[in-house]
Structure 1
Amino acid sequence: MDVLQDLEYRGLLNQITDEDGLRTLLNNEKVKLYCGFDPTADSLHIGHLVGILSLKRFQMAGHQPIALVGGATGLIGDPSGKKAERTLNSQDIVEHYSQSIKSQLSQFLDFEAEGNPAKIANNFDWIGKLDLITFLRDIGKSFGLNYMLAKDSVQSRLDAGISFTEFSYMILQSYDFLKLYENEGCKLQIGGSDQWGNITAGLELIRKTVDDAKAFGLTIPLVTKADGTKFGKTEGGTIWLDKDKTSPYEFYQFWINTDDRDVIRYMKYFTFLSKEQIEQFKNEIETAPEKRLAQKALAEEVTKLVHGEEAYSQAVKISTALFSGSISELSADEIKQGFKDVPSFEYNGDPEISLVDLLVMSKISPSKRQAREDISNGAVYVNGERMQDVESVITKEHRIEDQFTVIRRGKKKYFLIKY
């Protein structure tokens, strides 16, 4: 199947300005296309993955992707999908974010591919040079106020209020498409479904500016969850692509816990598994959902894609150790990942301390009486080992790489002692 057929099978086609024309173009020439990523943080998150991987799918089909970092538009703020005005960041912060995002994009796109190497562009290179008169006369003149007010990104904000700054975002993104069309021969812009108004505005600017222009727009559905909660969010917050913001273990756990109703759709969106492989997993969900084979495959594919083979293996090791209680098999780094959000206590006392005293001092047990009762009842585990002797002493031998001791009280309540 061609790239549009593949996108259609995967449910990644939302709107296309001219499907027949785009299909003909893609089948007859190597097409340059772009997707924009505004630097609103120092890392992209999993919501950005659909756009990044869509660029990659086009590259694998022989086309040339351009990842556009919004060094300029990131200073303005896109009103699309937002209920209120964004907080503006300084130029230094946006530049820092831009550099971080460039590095992340390099993980997914092939910048050395023979014949169709990916490129990274930054719209500050052309928007930063614009003077006000040029902006108003040469670009703004092409945009009717009624045309802009009719766009969903503006309409949705009229009641709550929208500043001229964010109102002008559409013009700047349109200018991006024009500059990439003129400078790079880029004929296709892709983006989330909330970008449809901005994309079609760019096409309109190209049509008015360039004779016999031939350019296209394509949008991808925004990712949703079957239970109605927001995709890419957990109790711990956003799932980032940066391992220092979301550890590979947390990342793996997000995917392994995917709802049965979502897993096949996510497999289509976020992996490069073939149609035959995906259909096989679909059958297995229907016949043996308790095995969760699709979730395991999804978690494996996406974790390897974002963090690599070693990080995936480490995430599986942590998951297995936590399930089995074999905590002593984990390294200090793995402990940090697996117990990032559990209650912790920093101990700086004598090298040896009675288990009862440690339980009370760290507030794992409310009193010595309760601590002794918990221990004698077999409810206390140290590094996965059950401790039933109320006279037990915690020594340096119980420290994992001299940094941590993991205490479990009951079936699921974990606590981390830090040294």
Structure 2
Amino acid sequence: MQDQHWGQTISADIVVIGGGTAGIGFAASLLKRDPHLNVTVIEPSAQHYYQPAWTLVGGGAHELKNTVRPMAAVMPRQAHWVQAAVSSVDPENRLLTLDDGRSVSYQNLIVCPGLRLAWEKIEGLQEALGQHGVTSNYSYRHAAYTWQLVKGLRGGKAIFTQPAVPIKCAGAPQKALYLSCDHWLRHGVLKHVDVEFNLAGAALFGVATFVAPLMKYIEKYRARLAFNSNLVKVDGPAQTAWFEVRDAAGTVTLQAKKFDLLHVVPPQVSPDFIRQSSLADAAGWCEVDVHSLQHVRYPDVFALGDVCSTSNAKTAAAVRKQIVVVAENVLALRKQQPLPLKYDGYGSCPLTVEKGKVILAEFGYAGKLLPTFPLEPTVARRSAWFLKATLLPWFYWNGMLKGREWLTRVSKVD
């Protein structure tokens, strides 16, 4: 296959790297604005996943099979799909190199490959996942195993972890804890389960407004919080996890903890081909202006989704608004007009604090609250559960991936 393509160059107009939420949603929205545009999407995977529902799968509230569809079924009809992975980016020459030996030249580049789950950064984790009580809702292969473990646990030690941010949906690690504890509470076994949440950081949630209401659930479920505690090693057969724990003086010690259930969230990094390119900032993320989402050094390049250097929450809800900003700004750039729209850092984290209730945390840059609905945002509501569990999955497949923009009001440049 590689020999067949080696040395070929594809000349493309607008190139989108990534066929995830950001890539497909953006391509669909752009083509809805102008169906005659020449849009090429580069994506190696044959499957497309709705990842926000994996937390629900792990809590027994969603079917795993409903979170995946063939990539060909969600790819916009007018887009040209190149099923390959990008190996390198040369923005000076507007050229991409693919893993099958082909090159792609472009006029405008939209960077949205997502991030990479770095399972290998935790020693022994890859060997342990899916057995010995070790699981993760961040994996399509293991979200259902989470629910299997939760249902089967009648007592013992349950440990939930959260690595250093940035990560996809920073609320997801504790969503796993809440839905598990809610199940154990309803079935009368929570009093026999020692629940511990190990966070690499020093706060339960990044936006202070939501800490107090979340603490009420931590207390309700009798969960212990271990701050500045980062998972570094797992021994599945021995059901032991090791954490690097930092004290107030900055001293780091290694602590071993036994478990019966271990829900792991892996460290997350920028893809190698971005991190190793001149598109990257010092931390490896694609460096864009926080409002226009245009690259700070290469004006023909924009980025959206999890790969961005922006400080917003890395969620599908953030992408929903970023799509509109980038689509309008790219079209303006191509007409040599000023960029009209700016992104305010909006992100949403529907915190599933119990089965049937959600605290809908919506916020922008600097933790500014940006509620969509005129309701007190810190209250857990059944309506927000309906939004998270029923309405948003339906809209994702039938709206967002088809270029329909719902609740996407964004600001114009002053």
Q: Give TM-score scaled by structure 2 length.
A: 0.30
Q: Please state which structure has a larger fraction of its residues in helix.
A: 1
Q: Give TM-score scaled by structure 1 length.
A: 0.29
Q: Please state which structure has a larger fraction of its residues in strand.
A: 2
Comparing both chains, which one has the higher relative contact order based on Cα–Cα distances under 8 Å and sequence gaps of 6 or more?
2
Q: Which has more radius of gyration?
A: 1
